[in-house]
Amino acid sequence: MTGYLFPGQGAQFVGMGADIHSSVPEAKALFDRASAVLDWDVADVCFNGPAEKLSLTSICQPAILVTSLAVVEALRAKGAPDAQCAAGLSLGEYTALAYAGALEFEQAVDLVRTRGALMQASSEAHTGSMTSIIGLDLDVVEAICAEAGGTVQVANLNSPAQVVISGEIDALERAEAVAADKGAKRAVRLDVAGAFHSPLMADAGEKLAEALANLDIAAPKIPVYSNVTAQPLPDSADGIRETLVSQVTHRVLWQKGVEAMVAAGVTGFMEVGPGKVLSGLLRRIDRSVKCTPVGTAGEVDALGSGE
């Protein structure tokens, strides 16, 4: 059984999707359709940047979703079999829902545009950031957050060796110092716009709930594993809405979600979209299960050639 993994914010890079766009007509059509929804040229920003523009939360979220789904079109054009389940890291959960048929393409593009803009606004209103703690167990990192005080919490359980924390700058600085004292291999401040998956995103969560309220959401055609619960999202529209709103302020249980998919029978993954972050995390979660990154035309072609 194959699972698709879709990347989240931070996977973007100038040039992403260009060779897919030029070689797969169905992929080009997605970029054109997304540009019509957003009223800016998605292909131009993805292919030409500048990087500062592509990195804006309100820009990169729809750009990554469109690029990832364009890669899906390239896989289909190649005759690759569809996945039996899917998951996405934070933003990537929306891509997974679109892939699974729960969201129409234009719906998904518009929704992540809204989500990105709301998160950008919350980041500007409530200054914060995120730090990756390398080499400490989850319970130790939770204790570090408690000791640091202020607004700081675990934001992502990415792998056994990597836990990301999120919160106010002062609280993060205290937590980083405590982490060093407790033997962390590294504490790396991330280049992100704000304190994602923390209470500082509460404003974004409330307004996202309003945007989701009247949106038609279908039952996913395949299981889509939730960041919040590490289990398949419910079939009901209300259940999906509630989980997506919770995701904005709650921790992402990426490691546990991947483990749940493996326990359900997944024997191999594809990381579908820009970058190779999720493939790297999988090696740290379970080396017995292969994850193949597929984000370029060359990588799609290699699937059929045995490279």
Mean pLDDT of 72-84: 94
| Gyration radius (Cα) of the chain, Å | 18
* Domain, as residue range, for 145: 127-189
What is the per-residue pLDDT across 104-129, written as a single tens digit (0 to 9) for each? 999 999 999 999 999 999 999 999 99
How much is the pLDDT for 304? Answer: 63
| 78 has a pLDDT exceeding 50 | yes
- Clarify whether residues 120 and 132 are in a common domain: no
Final residue belonging to a domain, choices 147, 164, 189: 189
Which among 189, 209, 227 is the end of a domain? Answer: 189
- Give me the mean pLDDT over the 266-284 stretch: 96
pTM: 0.95
- Does residue 85 lie in a domain region? yes
68 with 215, same domain: the answer is yes
My answer on whether 115 and 133 are in the same domain is no
**209-225 burial string, b = 16+ CB within 10 Å, else e?**
eebbeeeebeebebbbb
- pLDDT tens for residues 127-154? 999 999 999 999 999 999 999 999 999 9
**Exposure letters 136-172 (e unless 16+ CB within 10 A, then b):** beeebbbebbeebeebbbbbbbbbeebbbbbbbeebb
Spatial contact of 47 and 270, defined as CB atoms under 8 Å apart: no
Q: How many domains does the chain have?
A: 2
Give the pLDDT score at 259.
Answer: 97
Active-site hit among 35, 55, 58, 90: 90
Query: Last residue of a domain, which of 146, 166, 189?
Result: 189
**Catalytic annotation on 21?**
no
pLDDT score recorded for residue 210: 95
Q: Does pLDDT of 16 surpass 50?
A: yes
Q: How much is the average pLDDT of 12-33?
A: 97
From 21, 122, 129, 197, the catalytic residue: 197
197 labelled catalytic: yes
